[in-house]
Amino acid sequence: MAAPTTAPTSTDFWADARRHLVRYGGEFTPEIISGAAGSFVHTEDGRRILDFTSGQMSAILGHSHPEIVDTVRRQIGSLDHLFSGMLSRPVVDLARRLAGTLPAPLEKALLLTTGAESNEAAIRMAKLVTGKHEVVSFARSWHGMTQAAANATYSAGRKGYGPSSPGNFAIPAPNTYRPDFTHPDGTLDWRRQLDFGFDLVDAQSVGSLAACLVEPILSSGGLLEPPPGYFAALLEKCRERGMLLILDEAQTGLCRTGTWYAFERDGVVPDILTLSKTLGAGLPLAAVVTSAEIEQEAHDRGFLFFTTHVSDPLVAAVGNTVLDVLERDRLDERALHLGGVLRRGLEGIAERHHVVGDIRGRGLLVGIELVVDRDTKGSSDELGAAVTRRCLELGLHMNIVQLPGMGGVFRIAPPLTATEAELGLGLEILDQAIGESTA
């Protein structure tokens, strides 16, 4: 059937969307997006909406960055896709350059498409290399919707799909704002919490612990940042049990937190690192990076992870351009500076609005938690939804954690290329939206 010669009306558009689209999580934003540039998305009816989520927390260089556009146009005209066993220069260049941004012994890369896929490959590699099958993750984790990644995801999506794979265990996520294990002064006793978590793991394990897969900053879990020292202690727990430590830096990697990788703060080096979202700056590119020793052992044991788009040259070329811009424009330093500007603005909002209970995160990955009472820390999904709606009406797209009981936690992740004026505009809109939603 021939395509229509004119675009359907907005009424027809939404009717078609309701009739033909599978809903895959929550409701769709009630705007028809026609374009995007820099820190803004544009609607079909002429509105500009400031994007405080970098698309799906991915477009770290903003939308339609001119150098990314040029790379795509150039590369797609010469070499876009290959048989999975063929190699091209952009792929080898990106693998070499990624290794150059990382500490030893991380030097071997597998280039894939999505975060879920990279975590799938990392878990598969860890199981093969260790000869074991059990995986430990945080109780508020999000690692993806494919099988192994979904089995290690606990923040949502576990009910209604039948049994998960055996050998998946959750440990408590360290939450300094809502501590479960406390010191006498009420602060989080994360060492006792971590010991407790692994005591439970040890009690349930059949002696086949393969890996621990965690995010350096839990994003969907409520922008939770484990305290300094936590990951060194976690790595020690892994070493004691012969487990590999896999860090999922889908959202934290490549300068967003003010350093190239979030794990740098803690002085640890994971056995396997997974990257996605930020690596392609909005295009589908992901990577698994590990040591030569682990890669050799996996290869010797017959590691298999063929996918349709493994080592595709088009997105690899984009990844190289992303690294060019990050290095040349020193966007790690920029994220650190802008993160300070953003935090100071949020602290000002907290002084004016007592519903702001907590501000947390690092660099340009920041969370704020709205509460109905600062003393009891009582949360309100309704308040978070109301502020989100009002922000959108005023021209700011905010992302709220859409999980029961966590609807007051906003995830703020503007592009690293955002200007101070754009951050100021977003803060002004958020300030107004909170005030009007609580009046």
Q: How deeply is 297 buried, as exposed, middle or buried, from its count of CB atoms within 10 A (0-12, 13-18, 19+)?
A: middle
134-138 sheet: strands from edge to edge: 106-112, 286-291, 272-275, 244-248, 209-214, 134-138, 168-171
DSSP letter at 398 equals: -
Q: Is 297 a catalytic residue?
A: no
The neighbouring-strand residues paired with 36 are 41
Go through the chain and tell me how many residues it has.
439
Query: Is the separation of the CB atoms in 234 and 245 below 8 Å?
Result: yes
User: What are the residues whose beta carbons fall under 8 Å from the beta carbon of 65, sequence distance 6 or more?
Assistant: 281, 325, 417
Q: Is 251 a catalytic residue?
A: yes
3-state secondary structure of 327: helix
Chain center to CA of 328? 24
One of 108, 132, 277, 343 is an active-site residue; which one?
277
Q: Is 193 a catalytic residue?
A: no
One of 142, 256, 360, 390 is an active-site residue; which one?
142
User: What are the residues whose beta carbons fall under 8 Å from the beta carbon of 97, sequence distance 6 or more?
Assistant: 320, 323
One of 51, 120, 134, 248 is an active-site residue; which one?
248
For the chain, helix, strand, coil in percent to 5 are: 40, 20, 40
Q: Is 142 a catalytic residue?
A: yes
| Type of residue found at 147 | Q
User: What are the residues whose beta carbons fall under 8 Å from the beta carbon of 41, sequence distance 6 or more?
Assistant: 33, 35, 48, 49, 51, 63, 397
Rg of the chain in Å (alpha carbons): 22
One of 241, 334, 360, 411 is an active-site residue; which one?
411
Tokens of 410: 């906003």
One of 215, 225, 266, 312 is an active-site residue; which one?
215
Closest CA to 266 of 219, 227, 239, 214: 227
Query: Is the separation of the CB atoms in 340 and 348 below 8 Å?
Result: no
Instruction: Measure the CA dihedral 79/81/82/87, to 10°.
Output: 60
Give the C-alpha separation, 363 to 74, whole Å.
Answer: 33
Q: Is 248 a catalytic residue?
A: yes
One of 75, 120, 189, 251 is an active-site residue; which one?
251
Query: Is the separation of the CB atoms in 389 and 435 below 8 Å?
Result: no
Closest CA to 124 of 392, 268, 284, 307: 307
Q: Is 127 a catalytic residue?
A: no
Q: Where are the beta strands (DSSP E) in 144-271?
A: 168-171, 209-214, 244-248
Closest CA to 247 of 220, 224, 204, 213: 213
Q: Which residues are catalytic?
A: 142, 215, 248, 251, 277, 411
